[in-house]
Amino acid sequence: MKRMVGKNTLVSIDLPAQPARSAAIRLDATCAQAADLARAALVAVVGEACVGEHLQAVGIAERLVEHRFAAFQPGYVAWYWSVTTARAPRGKQVTVCDVALLPAEQALLAPAWVPWSRRLRPGDVGVGDLLPAAADDERLAPSFLLPEDVPLSDDNLPNPDEQVGKIPGVGRPRVMSVLGREQAAQRWYDSDAGPEAQLAKATRERCGTCGFYVQLSGSLGAAFGACANLYAPDDGRIVSADHGCGAHSEAVAV
């Protein structure tokens, strides 16, 4: 525990423990006595006002010593300055290797960095934004695997003379994988376009029996379609077959 005293500041900090040293490595006395040299180098870099008292000297390796100073850097409470000194074998002249501002145990640190691809949320992509799909995106599969959603006909059967990864007549290198379709189906079913939406609960009519319901093709068509009713709140949106609203084509006025 060290107490850092500065202008109108009194902070107690726990400095990191000294690294374990083998019996063959001792705290180099010559480098350890070079605290004034370390301070001078530090002041030359950051200025006198930012440097506090000398806290300790720590042996890092043979003839390599870290000098730690209290830091009065604005915005860096419980941080300390680290100045590494070294000397050559059998040499008496000590040199400064580097200067760094490091956090003590109580220092306030920024949260761990999260890649932007993991920070994205539905709806984050705006006008002009570009969001490339990862090469290993589990929601996609090579189109030559012919997932069930790709209709088979004489026009799009695999052709060995075509470039690998493309299907004649389709031209898409990748299509949705089974996992991708399952995730989409669950997401849509749990949304406001599914059977649990308040809009659907307020009516007995279901979209699957509506004349304005345009069924999707492929496996997703078993449970989903697009609403094509100009007056319906879900016009132009994907809805589940058991969704519903008051604009059903067969609704009867009471």
- pLDDT, tens digit, for every residue of 79-99? 999 999 999 998 999 999 999
Partners of 84 in the beta sheet? 66, 98
List the beta strands (DSSP E) in 7-124.
Answer: 9-13, 51-61, 64-71, 79-86, 95-103
- Return the pLDDT at 2: 53
Predicted pLDDT of residue 163: 41
Q: Who has greater pLDDT, 53 or 165?
A: 53
Query: What's the rounded mean pLDDT across residues 198-222?
Result: 92
- Band of residue 162 on the pLDDT scale cut at 50, 70, 90: very low
Same domain, 93 and 13: yes
| Residue 89 and residue 24 in one domain | yes
Distance between alpha carbon 25 and the CA centroid of its chain, in Å? 41
Residue 92 counted as domain residue? yes
Judge whether 177 and 140 are in contact, CB under 8 Å: yes
pTM of the model as a whole: 0.51
Our measurement of the distance from residue 50's CA atom to the centroid of its chain's CA atoms, rounded to an integer in Å, reads: 34
User: Between residues 168 and 219, which one has the greater pLDDT?
Assistant: 219
Contact 47, 40 (CB under 8 A): no
Residue at 247 is within a domain: no
DSSP state of 22: -
Same domain, 20 and 65: yes
Which among 85, 103, 121 is the end of a domain? 103
Of 176, 201, 226, the last residue of a domain is 176
**Which residues sit opposite 226 in a β-bridge?**
214, 238
Range(s) of the domain holding residue 82: 2-103
Q: Look-up: residue for tokens 């012919």? A: 146
Residues 6 and 88 in one domain: yes
State residue 154's pLDDT score. Answer: 45
Integer Cα distance of 193 and 227 in angstroms: 10
What is the mean pLDDT of the segment spanning 11-28?
A: 64
pLDDT tens digits, one per residue of 175-205:
888 899 999 999 999 999 999 999 999 999 9
For residues 155-163, give the mean pLDDT. 44
Nearest to 134 by CA among 150, 115, 151: 115
Q: What pLDDT is stored for residue 188 in this prediction?
A: 95
Number of domains in the chain: 3
